[in-house]
Amino acid sequence: MADFLSSPLASVVMLLAVTAVLVAVGVYVIGKVRAGLRESEPDASQWLTGFRELHDRGELDDEEYRTIKSVLSEQLQHEIDDTDKPR
């Protein structure tokens, strides 16, 4: 048994096992971080409210507000469609 552990094949197997574990941990951590970022991102209705306030204060003109509103309306529709789908 001791001879096998000192062989080059055993070293390669151990290196591959350690690499696989590190990759699995990395994938798990990245998934958790990405999920946290998605949760902290404001949704389209929150963005729209903020831009509406800017428009009301005169910091956005009518054309800019209409453009932003049309883009966010599409995004809001996608968010509504995603929440309507059964999981």
pTM: 0.47
Kindly provide the b/e burial profile for residues 29-54, where b requires at least 16 CB atoms within 10 angstroms of the residue's own CB.
eeeeeeeeeeeeeeebeebbeebeee
Per-residue pLDDT tens for 17-31? Answer: 999 999 999 999 999
Q: How many domains does the chain have?
A: 2
Query: What is the per-residue pLDDT for 61?
Result: 92
What range defines the domain where residue 53 resides? Answer: 42-87
- Which one, of 50, 23, 83, 28, lies nearest residue 15 by Cα? 23
- The better pLDDT of the pair 25, 76 is held by 25
Considering the domain architecture, whether residues 50 and 24 belong to the same structural domain is answered as no
Per-residue pLDDT tens for 41-59? Answer: 677 888 889 999 999 999 9
CB atoms within 10 A of CB 72: 21
Considering the domain architecture, whether residues 28 and 64 belong to the same structural domain is answered as no
Query: What is the per-residue pLDDT for 28?
Result: 95
Considering the domain architecture, whether residues 22 and 10 belong to the same structural domain is answered as yes
Residue type, 31: G
